[in-house]
Copies of this chain bind each other. A is one copy, B any other.
Amino acid sequence: MHDHNDILKKVKNELPDDELLCDLADLYKIFGDTTRIKIMYALFEEELCVCAIADLLGMTQSAISHQLKILKDADLVANRREGKTIYYHLSDDHVRSIIAQGFDHLTEEHED
């Protein structure tokens, strides 16, 4: 291996804690699934109940419920109960801005 100790020392200091980088990866992992992206997108406009989301995406209630749990555990969505129905909504605007940022990258031109 060729020498690059000086650069490594410098870069090593700039790297955040392993734990933080891991948390960051875990957060993005949640955005890395089409079903969850669709759920979040659906909640852009207004709160929806579980079966409405299931209906919208053409998937089972169970599958949606599993994904909603993941989103809730990550504080990306929250819910409220109204009788038998549970309505989900985005918990803050980060979801919107994170998704918007992704769009920026996708729609940007890349010359080759």
Contact = CB atoms under 8 A, between A and B. Distances in A.
Interface of A: 1-2, 4, 7-8, 10-12, 14-16, 18, 20-34, 36-38, 41-42, 44-46, 48-49, 51-52, 55-56, 75, 85, 91-92, 94, 97-99, 101-106, 108, 110
Count of chain copies: 2
B105 A94 contact: yes
A31 to B, nearest CB: 4
Given A2-B51, A21-B37, 8 more contacts: A11-B56, A18-B34, A24-B99, A25-B37, A75-B105, A75-B110, A92-B108, A98-B98
Nearest to A31: B28
A49 B45 CA distance: 45
